[in-house]
Amino acid sequence: MIEIKDLHVSVAETEILKGINLSIGLGEVHAIMGPNGSGKSTLANVIAGRPGYSVISGDIVYKGSSILEVLPEKVS
């Protein structure tokens, strides 16, 4: 249902996420856990399409289509 492939994200020219891979199937529930500053909120914000985050490389695919070029209001 959603697949994150080798995602690299920067904020203000600093790479925050480096090579994130995640696959979540239909009906699955996952928790993203980690210490402060590990990128949990950054990942959620990138998936939601919030401004201020630059995807350097990689892709986020939902139902077979990339969501990186979709307007945030269309993703939700």
Number of other CB atoms surrounding residue 17 within 10 Å: 20
User: For all residues of the chain together, what is the average pLDDT?
Assistant: 92
Q: What is the pLDDT of residues 46-63, one digit of tens each?
A: 999 899 999 999 999 998
Q: pTM to 2 decimals?
A: 0.86
Tell me the percentage of the chain whose pLDDT exceeds 70.
97
Average pLDDT over residues 31-36: 96
| Calpha distance 52→35 (Å, rounded) | 22
- φ and ψ of 26, to 5 deg: -55, 130
In the prediction, which pLDDT does 30 show?
94
Number of other CB atoms surrounding residue 67 within 10 Å: 19
Domain spans of the chain, in order of start: 2-75
CATH assignment of 2-75?
Answer: 3.40.50.300
